[in-house]
Each structure stands twice: as structure tokens, then as C-alpha cells.
Structure 1
Amino acid sequence: MSGAAEELTDVLSAPLSAFLVHLASEKRHSPRTCDSYQRDLQRFGAWLQGRQASAWHDVSGHDVRRYVAWLSREGLGGRSIARHLSAIRRFYQYLLREKQVRDNPALDIRAPKSGRRLPRVADVDQLNHLLDARPDDSLEVRDLCMFEMMYSCGLRLSELSGLDLDSVDARGGEVRVLGKGSKERVLPVGRKALQALSGWLAVRPGLAEESQRALFVSQRGGRLSNRSIQARLGRWGVAKGAEQRLHPHMLRHSFASHLLESSGDLRAVQELLGHADIATTQVYTHLDFQHLARVYDQSHPRARRRNGSDDQQQTPETP
């Protein structure tokens, strides 16, 4: 049973309705937030009702744990279950305030951990194909420069849109960016990105006034917004034949994964990305594990296959 659409008895529905009024009138939550609480708590109430629970004060911590297990069997991930538990805890806080229950049965119950979702990465050949495409007009000259900078330096979207003309030292091959927590870092800029920058700076005066400090400007001459950059990257991908939908963070992920794959220097990649905690950077070690395993199989003297009776039917891959 899904339980979500089942009508609750008055004993269960009346306190729930009062709680939703409390959220809307006293807490000033948006209708969307209230609807979310209603859906999650309605589902919990229907599940309880299917197990002959007569009132909210009959619910125990054991019941909540069984509900969490049921949600997991229904296919919900850790984050979704955590949201359900948060709604239940919040509801019982209200019931405690109203003296309708004696305790909060969900207080010490945690959702199962979700497997960390690995970031999507474009392969090197695809990125080379996209970035080697020739721009058709001045706006595409700008777009190519933006995308080269993102992939060359591993910039966040906000870091790219926040660049000013004086942020880049083309002669020194460096860019100064303001990252999370207003932390500044100086990054090297690759040769291809510097070439694209030179092309953009040659046409930029046709779009921007002399007083405009932003490096990347719109057709009207103002600083380009994050949303516009996202849209232009998607458009570039479609126009230049990308195999997957492109988004700014994919370029940052690709920068990190490709650099780590080539260098193996996790600390350096952490510094370049501006991660405060190396654990955040370690997600990229999972992305290139298959590549590293393949290199190992091809290169290590105790892993390489030798011509012999055991593998006469197989041809070793060329290193």
C-alpha cells in the first residue's frame, strides 16, 4: 500500500489539520511548504492507520523505525526519508506543545545514509571537440572564453560570473577568484583559455562601455548573470553536437577528475578547487578508479598477462 491517498480518521486528521493551520498562520510557511508537510504526514498517518493505530499518542519509536524501514523498501532514498522524519519530528513538537502527546517518538531516529551521488563528468575527447568548435559571432567568442576558463581553472559558476577585467593577469597566466566564504585564490590559466581570452577581449569593447568592470557582459553590456551563463552553455552544447546536456558544474567536475587522473595529486586538486575539506575533493578519486585499475592491469609486472596456455584465446590490450 502506498498510503498516501488514504483518508484518515477524524482522530488522526484533526490534529494534523490544526498543525497545518499552525504552520500557515503562526509560522508563516509558504503554501508549498505546507503542502509538503501535509503529503508526508498524511502518508505516515495512512501507514499507521493500516496497522490499527488509533491515535497519534499511540505511536512509539519502534513504530517510527518500522515506518522508516517501510519507506526504504518502497524505494525512497536517505534524503527523502530524512525529510519524512523531519516532518514527523516537527509535528510531534507541536503535539507536545498542545499537550496531546507525552513524547516525540521520532526524536532520536535517523534516516539511512544515502550513497553519495557521483558528479557527472564529460570525457576528454568530447570536451576537446566542443572547445575546438569555431565561434560564429561575438557572443559565441565570449561563450568559448567562458567555457575555456571554467574548464581550465575549475571555476564555480558564481566565480566565473564575478570575474572583473582586472581579475585576470594574461601576461602572468593567472586569474584571481573570490570563492565560497569570500576566500580568494589565485589560479593558473591554461594556454587555450588565454587564447580564447585574447579573442574575447578583442570584441568585448563592441558590447561593453569603458566603465564596465565585468569581464563577461551580455549583449546589452551588463554583467552576465549565472542563469544566462547556464543557458549559453546548454545552447553551445546543442549547437556543437554535445552527447549530453552541458551545465557549468560539469566543466568544474571534469577539470577536477581529469587533473586528478593525470597527476594523482589530491592536495593540489583540493587547492585549485578551493575546497576547505579534502573529503569534498575525495569524491573525484571514485570517478577515475576504473581508469586507474585499467592502467594497473596494463602496467604492473605482476598484473600483466603473459602469452601462455591460460590466455591463448585472449589478446592483451596495448598499454
Structure 2
Amino acid sequence: MTGAKELDRFLAELTTERRLSPHTVSAYRRDVGTLLEFCAREDIESLDQLAVHHVRRFAAESHFRGLSPRSIARRLSAVRTFLAALVEQGRLTANVAVHVQAPKPSRRLPATLDADQVASLLEIKADDDLAIRDRAMLELFYSCGLRLAELIGVNVADVDAADRTVRVTGKGAKSRVVPVGRLALEAISRWLRVRATLVKGDEQAMFISRRGKRLAPRTVQARLNHWARVQGSPTRVHPHMLRHSFATHILESSGDLRAVQEMLGHSSLSTTQIYTHLDFQHLAHSYDEAHPRARRSRRRRQKTK
């Protein structure tokens, strides 16, 4: 097969010189192997006959066969690395795959809970120490739209009850001050009284375990899953879903994208703009439910069933 010897030498180099894992080497074998199979079908007898239009057709064929844009991007990356190695060795004069791009993946909208679902989730019957902690933790999570790492990193001193704010440290060690809602502050106040009986040494973390130490991410995830089941959530809830829900609900109420950007700690407004798509979905649903013409068409559809 065209390029088989070159591929074997390339894989040997990955193994012995670059010391890549067997799993990674296997992935290169599979991805570059698909290119060589393509060359065989196209009667390309040697890799120096490979042209840019061939690589584009290879990518298009991968897409036609149902490969996702992400998988095509990975496949093309492997091909570029393979051809670059051949150029470096003097076996090829140019890397014809360098400018061939995979199709852009469709942007997946984040999953959210509606306001009633969030309210149901947070109505935790705080009748023991862990329930009191978890209620405060989830209230703060949703009230401020925090990332999981930010929530875990909050210290007692970071919450200013008088000012109704919390200082959090986000990505890139950047800190920001976020408003905290009344219900979250009330839950935190109750938790702090319990926390005083559990804390060990000089631990500064706001949310601690029974052993008096800062919570681990998996513990927060497990407790959130626990309460989602107990409270009868209709869907599996993950930590970032509360952040997405916060952003969507604030945007629905205020329409202030810049304010949402600041509260979420996004460095770029384009990152925050995904929530405008969610907001549009909400508006479209409201239109379909409320607009006379939409209601009439829906009734008509029901009558024809």
C-alpha cells in the first residue's frame, strides 16, 4: 500500500524518539492509515503525488461517511504531523495538508434548568449538618453563576454579607466580585454556625467536609447528583448546569449581556453570547405559547391529527 513503509518508520519514531504512549501511537496508525487507504482507492502511487485537492477530498469523504467535525480535525492533525515528518526527512518537498481544515462543528447549546426546576432543586430540607451545608453551597452556586473550581475556592473571608458580594478567583487567577442573593446569604449564615463546630485548625474554606477540610470537586458533584435525585429533578444535573441556568435567567430578565459577562468572568463577550441563543429559544417558546397566530396554528395542527 502507498506510504506503508513511511508510516511504519513514522510510528517507530513516535514510539522510540518521542516516547508517545501506545494508545497515541495506535491513534496515529489508525488516522494516517485511513489516508493511505484513500490514496490506494484514488490510484495515488506515491505520497509525492498527493496534492491539496486530494487531502480536501479525503476530508470531505470522511465527513460523508459520518465522521464528526471533531474527529475529522483529529484525523487531519495526524496527517499533517505525518507529512511534516516526511518533509523534515527530505522525502517530500511540501506539506499539502497544512492548510486543509475540518468542517466547523455546530455549537452545542448548554443544557439549563428553568427557574421552577432550580427552585425545586434548592428547596432542600436542611435538617442535618450536611443538608445545611449543601443548601448554602448550591444557593451560592446558582446565585452567583460560579464555576465548580470557583465555588470550592471560596473562603469565609471572601463573602461580605454587609455588601452582599463574594470575591471569587476564576481562570488565570483573575478575581472578580459578584453580587450574592438574599436566600444564598441566609443559607450561608446558617451554615457558618454549623461550620464552626466542624472546622479543623486554620482551614479558611467556606465549604468543608465532616472532617473539617475543604471539599473536593467530586464531592460537590456527588452531593449535587444526590439532591437532584431526592428533589425529583427531571434530568441529570451537573455543576456547570447551574452556571448556565444562572446566566440564562439573568439575561432573560435584564437583557444586559455585558453585565452577565462580568458576573461570569468571561474575558471575551463572544463567549457570553451563546446565552443569547438560549434566550432566543426562550423567546421563541413564549411567542409560540402567547401569540394569537401561533396559538391558532397550533390548534389547527391539533385538529388535523
TM-score normalised over the length of structure 2: 0.91
- Report deviation, 1:305: 5.0
Report deviation, 1:271: 0.9
For the pair 1:174 / 2:165, whether they are aligned, the reply is: yes
Q: What CA deviation, in whole Å up to 9, does each residue of 1:220-259 have, x standing for no partner?
A: 2221122221222122212322211111111000000011
The C-alpha deviation readout for 1:59-85, integer Å capped at 9, x for no partner, is: 211110001111111222322211111
Task: Give the % identical residues.
Answer: 48
Following TM superposition, by how much is the alpha carbon of 1:282 offset from its aligned partner in structure 2, in angstroms?
A: 0.6
Residues 161-190 of structure 1: per-residue CA shift (max 9 Å, x gap): 111110101232110011122221111111
Aligned partner of residue 177 in structure 2, secondary structure: strand
Contact 2:124-2:131 at 8 Å conserved across structures:
no
Q: 2:221 aligns with which of 230, 251, 258?
A: 230
1:47 to 26, 32, 38: 38
Amino acid at match of 1:182: A
CA distance in 2, matches of 1:17, 1:306: 62
1:194 is matched with 185
1:121 and 1:306 mapped to 2: Cα distance?
Answer: 25
Q: Does 1:66 align with 2:57?
A: yes
Provide runs of 4+ in structure 1 moved above 4 Å: 294-299, 303-307
The one-letter code matched in structure 2 to 1:209 is: K
Question: How far apart are the structure 1 equivalents of 2:204 and 2:22?
Answer: 41
The answer for unaligned runs of 5 or more in structure 1 is 1-8, 315-319
Separation in 1, partners of 2:105, 2:204: 43
> What residue is the counterpart of 2:258 in the other structure?
267
Q: CA deviation at 1:23?
A: 1.5
Q: Root-mean-square deviation (CA), in Å?
A: 2.2
User: Which residue does 1:317 correspond to in 2?
Assistant: none
**Structure 2 Cα separation of the partners of residues 233 and 306 of structure 1:** 38
Q: Which residue of structure 1 aligns with residue 91 of structure 2?
A: 100
Cα distance per residue 1:144-166 (max 9 Å; x no partner): 21111111000011111111110
Residue 105 of structure 1 deviates from its aligned partner by: 1.3
Q: Which residue in the other structure is 1:132 paired with?
A: 123
Which deviates further from its counterpart, 206-215 or 134-143? Answer: 134-143
User: Residue in 2 aligned with 1:243?
Assistant: 234
Alignment match, 1:144: 135
> In structure 2, what is the Cα distance between the partners aligned to 1:18 and 1:156?
45
Offset of residue 22 of structure 1: 1.2
Whether the 8 Å CA contact 2:288–2:294 is kept in 1: the answer is no
Contact residue 287 and residue 294 of structure 2 kept, 8 A: no
Q: Distance in 2 between matches of 1:190 and 1:237?
A: 21
Please tell me whether residue 155 in structure 1 is matched to residue 146 in structure 2.
yes
SS at match of 1:175: strand
Select the residue among 273, 276, 281 that pairs with 1:285.
276
Taking the aligned partners of 2:33 and 2:226, their CA distance within structure 1 comes to 42
Question: Which is further off, 152-161 or 235-244?
Answer: 235-244
Aligned residue for 1:19? Answer: 10
Instruction: Give the 5 Å matches for 1:206-225.
Output: 206-225=197-216
SS in structure 2 opposite 1:268? helix
- Give the counterpart letter for 1:172 in structure 2: D
In the TM superposition, residue 55 of structure 1 has moved relative to its aligned partner by 2.8
More divergent stretch after superposition (186-195 vs 76-85): 76-85
User: Aligned equivalents of 1:181 and 1:98: distance in 2?
Assistant: 39
Alpha-carbon separation, structure 2, partners of 1:222 and 1:22: 47
Cα distance between partner residues in 1 of 2:218 and 2:294: 55
Aligned residues: 299
**TM-score of the superposed pair, with normalisation by structure 1:** 0.87
Q: Does 1:88 align with 2:51?
A: no
Distance of 1:19 and 1:135 partners within structure 2: 61
Match of 1:199, SS state, is: helix
| Contact 2:200/2:211, CA 8 A, preserved across alignment | no
| Separation of aligned partners in 1, 2:147 and 2:294 | 46
Measured in 2, the distance between the counterparts of 1:306 and 1:34 equals 56
1:66-108 deviations in whole A, cap 9, x for unaligned?
A: 0111111122232221111111110001111222222111011
Flag the structure with higher helix content: 2
